[in-house]
Amino acid sequence: LLGPGSSTEELESSAERVLYIAHGSVTATVGPANYMLNADETLHIVPGRTLMLRNHGDTPAKIFTLTLPSRRRAEAPLVVLN
């Protein structure tokens, strides 16, 4: 859970990550780009990118993260909106 007005520290990982927003909304900063994510949306983050999450909403955001071992380095994140 990421509380209202809270943010995570910036994290760089050699792993591939997939975020699923189960409840609420967050801004995901991946490298220099910002993505607004709402409930039932996902974000794919390639290895080597920095990630920071911010909850600008009034309710907690519930976020699930799937971390995958790195196989190759891609050029940019891919946003998949459901």
Angle at 8 between CA 7 and CA 13, to 5 degrees: 150
pTM above 0.85, yes or no: no
65 DSSP β-pair partners: 19
Please name which of 13, 14, 8, 15 lies closest in space to residue 29, comparing C-alpha atoms. Answer: 8
The mean pLDDT value of the chain amounts to 89
Cβ contacts of 66-69, under 8 Å, gap ≥ 24: 66/17, 66/18, 66/20, 67/13, 67/15, 67/16, 67/17, 68/15, 68/16, 68/17, 68/18, 69/15, 69/16
pLDDT band at 72 (very low <50, low <70, confident <90, very high): low
